[in-house]
Structure 1
Amino acid sequence: METSRAAEPRIPGQVWFRTSVAGMASYLDAAAIISTGTALVLYQEPLGLTVGDIGRLSALLTFMIAVGALVGGRLGDLYGRKRVFMVTMALYTVGAALMVVAGGPALLYVGVVLLGIAVGADLPVSLAMIAEEAPEGARGRLVSFSHILWLVGILAAQLLGIIVGNMGQTGGRALYVHLTVVAIVTMVLRARLPESHLWAAAHQGDPALAPAATGGGPGQAAPGDSVDLGTLKQLLRGPFLAPMLAVALFYALVNIGANTGGQFNTYMYVNLAGSTVQLASTVSFITFGIAFGATYLLMRIVDGSNRMRWFTVMAVFYTAGYLVPAILGVHLWTLVTMGVVGSIAGAIAGEPMFKIWAQELFPTVYRSTAQGVMIAITRVVAAVVALWTPTLLDSSPSLLFFFVAACIACGALIGIFWINRYPRVADDEVEEVSAAPAAR
């Protein structure tokens, strides 16, 4: 299967810098989820956490990411990308610091709330910033790069888990120190970034870009071309409602697998497979390292004509990966197999495709709000599933894995037969949406 694509445009160093700094939302999202999954196991005995506490804290983190995405996406369209993701980093720092000093369940709940709101609000605006600053023909590649940062966040958290996995609550605190430090550094670097030029043009009346940013052509007055450019009302009554629902359903379904593996990976290895925190982190470090190669492949194919062929094949493998422990039982080797297959196939048929479709199908003034809605729906679904996951893993793990496999298969069908038929907004957002090529 070829990676057919047009000649890749040259991406200046300053664009890579902006992409990396804005994309740290993906790093901090993944690191927060993985670190919390490991830290709660390390905090379990010293801080007196029950299985119910672990389920509730995991679900709360996911739910607050949903709330943050809904609010942050809206604010990002109204007040700008940079303003929002500077505030979110400050909030993230406070939340992570509270998790460092927590001496019992109460402060953990407060920290999880702040951490979740911050990372949720940051995600839609940071991804919008990346898409809007991308050179023509490179948008898919740069948005895909944010998944590399997501993987780096996982790998960093897993590496720390290997190092501190036998240190009890001290190890848990070390995981959150890492999050605190990275958030502070990110906030400092983001202070150097300019505002998204497309967002600024839309809000300052640039005659060449502002109309197109709302989905109209040059010189046309597009719907919602006003001070309040990011309203949910305009999304819900306009032509972008159906794509938003389609992408939200896709992301909600495939994310159940990623979220289950991310939040409860250590729990499954320790409590079901009889392994240790260190071994769980080591295996995950290796398997997620494999995903780097798969994500690089995505960056090569995402702007080409064979994207959906790759997506279809990988969706089959992604589904099959979760059927291994469902059919053969939860053992160390079945969890490793699921992790390896998921890391490869999920990079092409999972969350990264949501990030790409979310940029391609929505113009500038709706993009952050639409992403906020889609992320919110997805994380609410994941929170509901996470609330019951520990109990289901203890009582009937095979049932859980069959459920996850079915969700991924349904998400793949939505991507192939529903999302794939919508046109995409042109890379430079100057062409009319109706004239844009289909995203295939």
Structure 2
Amino acid sequence: MTTEKVKLTRDNVMLIVVAGLASYMDAALLVSLGVALPIWAKYLSLNSWLVGLISTLLTVSVAVGSFIGGWLADKFGRVTVFNADILFVAIGSFIIALSQDVTVLFIGVIIAGLASGADLPTSLAVISERMSKKLYGRAISSTQIFWTVGILLSQLIGFLTANSGMGSPVALFGWIGAVALLNWCVRVFSKKFKTIETTLAVEESAELDVQPLTKTYKISDLLKHRNILLSILLLTVFYLFWNLPANTWGSFVNYFLVTVDNRSQAFSTIIALIANIACLFSTFFYFKVSDTKYRYPVMYGGLLVGLIAFVTAGTFSNYWQAFTIAYICYSASNILWGEALYKIWTQTFYPVDARASLTGFSYGIVRALTAVFSLVTPTLMAFSPKLLLWIMAGCTLVSGICALIIVKHVSKFKMTAAALEKE
């Protein structure tokens, strides 16, 4: 972290907006699916296992897309993959929006998930290799604003269409498809954006005094470096146990409030909307402190609030009011210690030309394991809501321990990445 304040330029901001929409798509797909699940369960007569399978398909597809997309980006060019994958997000989203049976729904979920998974590590690498290291915190954490807006806007659309039956999924995923299509047009056809991509890459190479040449790394070779292996293990475990609660409530908070707490679809959607407004404010706050000495004190505070929220919800699991308040508190705090930090760390712990591959590798593992948990989540909710909430508390604790260990090794991990880039 730096004490010197460097401003984001207009070109920086445009790049962040265009590439940051990958985070918007990731969150919007996840949350829109969660909003639509109880509707599909009703109109398509789905049991709890099929509900879990739909969510799992999305998560597995994102995981596979991350594995493949990160590797393709570093092998064939990050901009090339960056320009292509968003189109398939649009295609998959439109298929979901128009689906009237489970088979077509599955096809749309798989296509959208694969493309979204490929876009995330690629877009982060596109941003980081065109930004000064003095801007990493703000540049990468700003993608969380798009992630939060994706959640918030999906919940808002879900609330406005709560009484529209199958019209609600049409609105939710039709909107995602339209945004993805517009984003693809900018990436591919905007001369101004192409100029920004090229200019920022050259400027950053000049600042670092390196040639803008692409190096080729094999993941297997990189993992032979002790610090690379240690960092990816710690980051993956940290993000996994942060992501399990985040994915659970992103996908199933509406389902939980409707089926377990016996609240209405409108109630569940408005509570999620309130929670994510709180999350949005936290995201703007984090953007301000992400490049300062307060980054890690804020992380400790967010961890503590999240842990207390789940412990409280688990202790008073028979009261829907307790879960509602705990969920809002968790949503307001999780941005301070989770995915934003993971993104910042992945873009600083690895060489530039290996970031997409290693981030995709780590992200893919996390999403694959999260998918397994998603498959049993609805059944676990029906079996014991209390047990589920205590599992969430345990996940928060494990993630927090990993975060504390990573903070102690930050300098060492950065030095290893810098040394590899100079080889």
Return the TM-score normalized by structure 1.
0.88
Find the counterpart in structure 1 of residue 8 from structure 2: 11
Whole-Å separation in 2 of the counterparts to 1:82 and 1:394 = 45
Find the counterpart in structure 2 of residue 237 from structure 1: 224
Of 406, 414, 418 in structure 1, the residue corresponding to residue 402 of structure 2 is: 414
Kept after mapping to 2: 8 A contact 1:140/1:302:
yes
1:105 and 2:92 correspond: no
Deviations 1:25-64 (A, max 9, x none): 1001100001111112112222222211110010111111
Structure 1 residue 210 displacement after superposition? 4.3
Kept after mapping to 2: 8 A contact 1:6/1:304:
yes
Find the counterpart in structure 2 of residue 209 from structure 1: 210
Find the counterpart in structure 1 of residue 341 from structure 2: 353
* Structure 1: runs of 5+ lacking an equivalent: 214-224, 436-440
Of 152, 161, 164 in structure 1, the residue corresponding to residue 161 of structure 2 is: 164
Find the counterpart in structure 1 of residue 50 from structure 2: 53
What code does the residue aligned with 1:43 have? Answer: W
Find the counterpart in structure 2 of residue 288 from structure 1: 276
Find the counterpart in structure 2 of residue 222 from structure 1: none
Structure 1 residue 145 displacement after superposition? 0.4
In the superposition, relative to structure 1, how do residues 99 and 315 fare at CA in structure 2: closer, same or farther (>3 Å)? Answer: same
Kept after mapping to 1: 8 A contact 2:2/2:134:
no
1:260 and 2:243 correspond: no
What code does the residue aligned with 2:307 have? Answer: T
Structure 1 residue 374 displacement after superposition? 1.0
Find the counterpart in structure 1 of residue 262 from structure 2: 274
Find the counterpart in structure 2 of residue 218 from structure 1: none
What code does the residue aligned with 1:49 have? Answer: L
Identity %: 27
The residue correspondences of 1:6-405 to structure 2 (distance < 5 A) are 6-191=3-188, 192=190, 193-194=193-194, 208-210=209-211, 226=215, 229-238=216-225, 239-405=227-393
Whole-Å separation in 1 of the counterparts to 2:271 and 2:197 = 39
Kept after mapping to 2: 8 A contact 1:59/1:383:
yes
More helix by share: 2
* Structure 2: runs of 5+ lacking an equivalent: none
Whole-Å separation in 1 of the counterparts to 2:61 and 2:93 = 14
Whole-Å separation in 2 of the counterparts to 1:297 and 1:93 = 31
What code does the residue aligned with 2:393 have? Answer: A
What code does the residue aligned with 2:45 have? Answer: G
In the superposition, relative to structure 1, how do residues 111 and 198 fare at CA in structure 2: closer, same or farther (>3 Å)? Answer: same
Whole-Å separation in 1 of the counterparts to 2:302 and 2:370 = 22
Structure 1 residue 189 displacement after superposition? 1.7
Structure 1 residue 233 displacement after superposition? 2.0
Kept after mapping to 2: 8 A contact 1:318/1:345:
yes
Find the counterpart in structure 2 of residue 438 from structure 1: none
Whole-Å separation in 2 of the counterparts to 1:11 and 1:206 = 15
Kept after mapping to 2: 8 A contact 1:199/1:365:
no
Whole-Å separation in 1 of the counterparts to 2:125 and 2:243 = 20
What code does the residue aligned with 2:158 have? Answer: G
In the superposition, relative to structure 1, how do residues 14 and 281 fare at CA in structure 2: closer, same or farther (>3 Å)? Answer: same
In the superposition, relative to structure 1, how do residues 29 and 434 fare at CA in structure 2: closer, same or farther (>3 Å)? Answer: closer
Cα RMSD between the aligned structures?
Answer: 2.6
Structure 1 residue 308 displacement after superposition? 2.0
Query: What is the DSSP-based 3-state SS (H/G/I as helix, E as strand, rest coil) of the residue aligned with 1:360?
Result: coil
In the superposition, relative to structure 1, how do residues 96 and 256 fare at CA in structure 2: closer, same or farther (>3 Å)? Answer: same
What code does the residue aligned with 1:282 have? Answer: I
